[in-house]
Amino acid sequence: MATTRGNMQADDKYTPQQEQWNISTPDGSQRSVPDGWSFRKAKDMVDAMKNVKIGNLNPDNDEYNMKHKRRGVAIILNHVHFQNMGTREGSEKDTLDLKTSLDKLGFDVQVYTDPTFKTITKVLQSTAAEDHTDADCLIVVAMSHGESGLLHSADSMYPVDALWIPFTGDQCLSLAGKPKLFFIQACRGTQLDNGVTFFHQTDSIKSNTLKYSIPAYADILVAYSTYDGFFSWRNPDSGSWFIQALCEELDLHGRSRDLLTIMTFVNRRVAIEYQSYVPQNEKFHAKKQIPSIVSMLTRLVYFPDKHTSIPNNIDDGSKGKKTEVYKRDAKNLLLKEFLNNPQTKPT
pLDDT at 83: 87
- The model's pTM: 0.77
Q: How far is CA 134 from CA 73, 175, 218, 219, in A?
A: 11, 10, 19, 17
CATH of the domain at 234: 3.40.50.1460
pLDDT at 122: 98
What is the pLDDT averaged over residues 125-138? 98
Q: Is the pLDDT of residue 52 over 90?
A: no
pLDDT band for position 213 (cuts 50, 70, 90): confident
Residue 337 phi, psi (nearest 5): -65, -40
Q: Cβ distance 159 to 149 under 8 Å?
A: yes
| Domain around 144 | 65-195+213-316
Q: Is the pLDDT of residue 105 over 80?
A: yes
| Number of domains comprising the chain | 1
What is the pLDDT averaged over residues 75-103? 96
Query: Of 340, 320, 249, nearest to 291 (Cα)?
Result: 249
Q: Is the pLDDT of residue 25 over 70?
A: no
Q: Is residue 45 part of a domain?
A: no
Can you tell me the distance from the alpha carbon of 347 to that of 231, in angstroms, rounded to the nearest whole number? 7
Query: Of 36, 99, 141, 93, nearest to 240 (Cα)?
Result: 93
Can you tell me the distance from the alpha carbon of 2 to that of 5, in angstroms, rounded to the nearest whole number? 10
Q: Is residue 217 part of a domain?
A: yes
Q: Which of 96-110, 130-144, 247-261, 322-336 is the least confident region?
A: 322-336
Query: Of 127, 134, 133, nearest to 109 (Cα)?
Result: 127
Q: Is residue 163 part of a domain?
A: yes
The dihedral over CA atoms of 314, 316, 320, 322, expressed in degrees to the nearest 10, equals -120
Compare 84 and 345 and report the one with higher pLDDT: 84
Q: Is residue 10 part of a domain?
A: no
Q: Which of 64-68, 144-148, 180-184, 308-312 is the least confident region?
A: 308-312
Classified as helix, coil or strand, 106 is coil
Q: How far is CA 244 from CA 32, 55, 96, 192, 264, in A?
A: 33, 37, 11, 20, 14
Catalytic residues, by residue number, are 145, 187
Q: Is residue 36 part of a domain?
A: no
What is the pLDDT averaged over residues 6-26? 46
pLDDT at 245: 98
Q: Is residue 205 part of a domain?
A: no
Share of the chain above pLDDT 90, in %: 63
Q: Is residue 127 part of a domain?
A: yes
Q: Is residue 201 part of a domain?
A: no
Give 304-320 pLDDT, tens digit per residue: 998 754 434 434 444 44
Q: Is the pLDDT of residue 202 over 90?
A: no
